Amino acid sequence: MISPIDATLQLLQFDTGNTAFMLLATSLVMLMTPGLAFFYGGLVGRKNVLTIMIQSFVSMAIVTILWFAVGYSLCFSGDTFGIIGNLDKAFLNGVNPGDVFTGNGQIPEMVFIVYQMMFAIITPALITGAFTNRVDFKAYLIFLVAWMFLVYFPFVHMIWGGGILAQWGVLDFAGGIAVHTIAGFAALASVLFVGPRVIKEKGPHSIPLVALGTGLLWFGWYGFNAGSELAVDTITVLAFINTDLAASVAGATWLALAWILEKKPKFVGFLTGAVAGLATITPAAGFVTPGASMIIGFIAGIVCYFAIGFKDRMKWDDALDVWGVHGIGGALGTICLGIFATTTINAGGANGLIAGNFVFFGVQFLAVVIAAAWAFIFTYVMLFIINKITPVRVTDVVESSLDEGQLGEVAYLSDEGEI
């Protein structure tokens, strides 16, 4: 047992203000996963609410276990061919409460571990919006575990764990590649594998739930982006304001587009646009000026809006537009970082294309291509193999009322006890 004196000495190793801030940021990022569950839950039909929500919530449990067992070690311990770490810190072997995170020397390593764990939890949950109403829960659990090992852990290591993309000079402030691009293109692969829904829903069953989910996501995103500085300084403030500006501009842009092209100012459109802005600014939040973040938000609102239109013309049944919002948003934000980055705002970043750095723009673009291709191919092959073990897609009968068929529960009961 650690004595009070030893505990005090350990505490003095840390910056208590930064440590407290990072615990708060971690809590904010954790809140994003329930927020995502509400966001997705409101967008689906009444008979499929619980199935989409449990997929987000169960990620909190399964990924936490995986992260403790091997995930953190594979991402942030050692290096194997620049692609994955090793198992030196499996089950947090050798990590003690008093250990300082060597990345900045100001917070406990355990705080960094749980902060990164929250990123790991929400990333696979993002994918579920694409194949809503179609995937068997047992197959999803297998997919969740396999996808973490084959896609998420390698890319976190490659970008944030000292792997090959980091060695190339690729920057990703808070997860444009490591979260949104890989999740979005995995979503596209899953949509193409499972095929379209047999029963198409008429629209969101609860726009207020979508609004609640968006509010929680937007709120949590401050921890997601500003917290990625891992300390409280000028870059933290920069990431915070850039996050808000990009989301606001993207939401307003989407609203205007819908008003012009669809003749109505759609509330769901505004909410979707705001999330697109949040996803797009994520990789650039700590590396660009507030003015650039507004331009990025404007571009995000336009590009993601028309990406969804393209998806519809291609008849890809990405039910909740994961590819168009997160895949395209994350990729677009990473490329925009290659354009707008400037060391005058963050000396630890890089100069982008506007500042004459063609090489940095090139590596950012190449990293997006690699991430999109890797996530798409591995996800498609993974689903093909899982389908040989257990059917990935539910039957048409179960699809008509997924909550009752898969979970034996329903979200809404009438006075007569029926849905």
Could you write out the DSSP letters of every residue in 111-131? HHHHHHHHHHHHHHHHHTTTS
C-alpha torsion sign, points 120, 109, 154, 280: positive
Length of the chain: 419
| Domain extents in the chain | 10-397
Whether 32 has a pLDDT exceeding 70, the answer reads yes
Share of the chain above pLDDT 90, in %: 87
Whether 292 has a pLDDT exceeding 80, the answer reads yes
Residue 96 CB coordination number (10 Å): 11
268: tokens are 């769901």
Which pLDDT belongs to residue 12? 52
Question: pLDDT tens digit string along 307-349?
Answer: 999 999 999 999 999 999 999 999 999 999 999 999 999 999 9
Instruction: Look at residue 169 and give its three-state secondary structure.
Output: coil
The one-letter amino acid code at 263 reads K
Strand partners, 100: 108
* C-alpha torsion angle, residues 282, 39, 125, 50 (rounded to 10): 170
Whether 9 has a pLDDT exceeding 80, the answer reads no
Which pLDDT belongs to residue 417? 52
Reference 38, options 326, 317, 271; nearest CA is 271
Whether 418 has a pLDDT exceeding 90, the answer reads no
409 Ramachandran zone, left/alpha/beta (phi>0; psi -120 to 50): beta
Give how far Cα 106 sits from Cα of 78, 177, 223, 233, 357, Å: 21, 26, 18, 12, 32
- More confident of the two residues 232 and 399: 232
Assign 414 a pLDDT band (cuts: 50, 70, 90).
low
Give how far Cα 150 sits from Cα of 159, 189, 270, 275, 350, Å: 15, 14, 34, 26, 30
Assign 397 a pLDDT band (cuts: 50, 70, 90).
confident
CA 82-83-87 angle, to 5 degrees, is 100
Residue for token pair 């940021």: 25
Spatial distance between the Cα atoms of 30 and 247, rounded to a whole number of angstroms: 20
SS3 per-residue string spanning 86-101: CCCCHHHCCCCCCCEC
C-alpha torsion sign, points 71, 318, 251, 177: positive
Question: pLDDT tens digit string along 136-191?
Answer: 999 999 999 999 999 999 999 999 999 999 999 999 999 999 999 999 999 999 99
Which pLDDT belongs to residue 203? 85
Give how far Cα 308 sits from Cα of 31, 206, 318, 351, Å: 27, 21, 9, 31
Question: pLDDT tens digit string along 56-96?
Answer: 999 999 999 999 999 999 999 999 999 999 999 999 999 99
Which pLDDT belongs to residue 21? 97
Assign 294 a pLDDT band (cuts: 50, 70, 90).
very high
Instruction: Look at residue 170 and give its three-state secondary structure.
Output: coil
The one-letter amino acid code at 414 reads S
170: tokens are 């690729």
Question: pLDDT tens digit string along 264-280?
Answer: 999 999 999 999 999 99
Give how far the C-alpha of residue 181 lies from the chain's centroid of Cα atoms, to the nearest Å.
8
Residue 2 CB coordination number (10 Å): 12
Give how far Cα 339 sits from Cα of 265, 330, 348, 352, Å: 31, 14, 16, 5
Assign 2 a pLDDT band (cuts: 50, 70, 90).
low
Which pLDDT belongs to residue 87? 97
Whether 263 has a pLDDT exceeding 70, the answer reads yes
Residue 417 CB coordination number (10 Å): 7
Question: pLDDT tens digit string along 248-261?
Answer: 999 999 999 999 99
Average the pLDDT over 231-255 and give the result: 98
Q: Which fold has domain 10-397?
A: Ammonium transporter fold (1.10.3430)
Spatial distance between the Cα atoms of 373 and 391, rounded to a whole number of angstroms: 25
Which pLDDT belongs to residue 358? 97
Question: pLDDT tens digit string along 375-393?
Answer: 999 999 999 999 999 999 9
